[in-house]
Amino acid sequence: MNTKYSDRDTTSARRTLGGCLAATVLASALLAVLSAAGVTSAPASAHGSRHPVIKEERRYIRTHSVSPDTPESYGGPFELTDHNGRAVTDKTFHGKWTLYFFGYTGCREACPLGLENITRSLELIGPESEKIQPLFIDVGMEAPDRKGLAQFVSNFHPNILGLSGTRAQTFEIVRLYKIRREYMGTNYSKKEFGPRIDHTTYIFLVDPSGKTRGYYHHALAPDQMAAFIRKHM
């Protein structure tokens, strides 16, 4: 007896498989970036290796390789204002190594974790960390709140400088560093307030000449962050 499937069943199955494939490809790209930073990890899998979806995923990966963008493709000239009210540009930070981390002050998960990991990695680096300027760039679309930004970054390393700008200025630096932003309709944590923004959480390392040398995930362990930075300095 033959089982008949409706068009609706077929469409649903394709969407499920497409979602699995997309997730696997994105995970592979992230692992490639972390491997460049000296971090290795075995990929997690929701199915056994003999599952037909896993087999299809592996075939897809073999024929659709995804490579992370080169560090040099990120960055460029910008104009913003720091949390002290001083106008700054990309050239303001030439002569020092710089860490660029993008987020928003209403974030209560990824942003605090990333800033705390930056803080701890700078502490591990020691006196040499004085050659590094850590930056937190507010990518929220509301009018800049320098007082709130100053209060937010004060919870972390004392050298972290908060930057914000007009809508046009924010759009420009987001474009230069290829930051994805998406306003979400639901807050997933009771600690969050205001609009939730799903955003890119890479931390970018820029050399004293203004050239991006590398980037890594915000959740990278502080000792591995410190090792990554030392490797390039």
In the chain (233 residues long), the average pLDDT of successive 10-residue segments reads 46 45 45 44 37 52 59 94 96 97 87 95 96 94 84 96 94 91 61 66 95 93 95 92
136 and 184 within one domain: yes
* Same domain, residue pair 91 and 145: yes
pLDDT at 19: 45
Give the closest residue to 189 by CA, choosing from 112, 97, 100.
112
pLDDT given at position 67: 59
Looking at the domain assignment, is residue 118 inside a domain?
A: yes
Are 95 and 190 in a shared domain?
yes
Both 20 and 123 in a single domain?
no
**Distance between CA atoms of residues 36 and 38, nearest Å:** 5
CA torsion sign for 48, 53, 58, 59 is positive
Predicted pLDDT of residue 180: 83
Q: Which domain holds residue 190?
A: 71-232
Check whether residue 59 and residue 141 sit in a common domain: no
Question: Helix 7-36 and helix 52-63: axis angle, to 10°?
Answer: 60
Q: Are residues 147 and 211 in the same domain?
A: yes
Helix extents (H) in the chain:
7-36, 52-63, 110-125, 146-153, 167-176, 222-232
* Residue 26 domain flag: yes
pLDDT score, position 62: 52
pLDDT score for 129:
96
Positive or negative, the CA dihedral 111, 115, 120, 122 is positive
The pTM (predicted TM-score) of the whole model is 0.69
Would residue 1 count as lying in a domain?
no
What's the pLDDT score for residue 200?
Answer: 84
196 and 82 share one domain? yes
Looking at the fold, whether 58 and 129 belong to one and the same domain comes out as no
Residue 121 belongs to some domain of the structure: yes
Question: What was the pLDDT predicted at 43?
Answer: 34
Domain count of the fold of the chain: 2
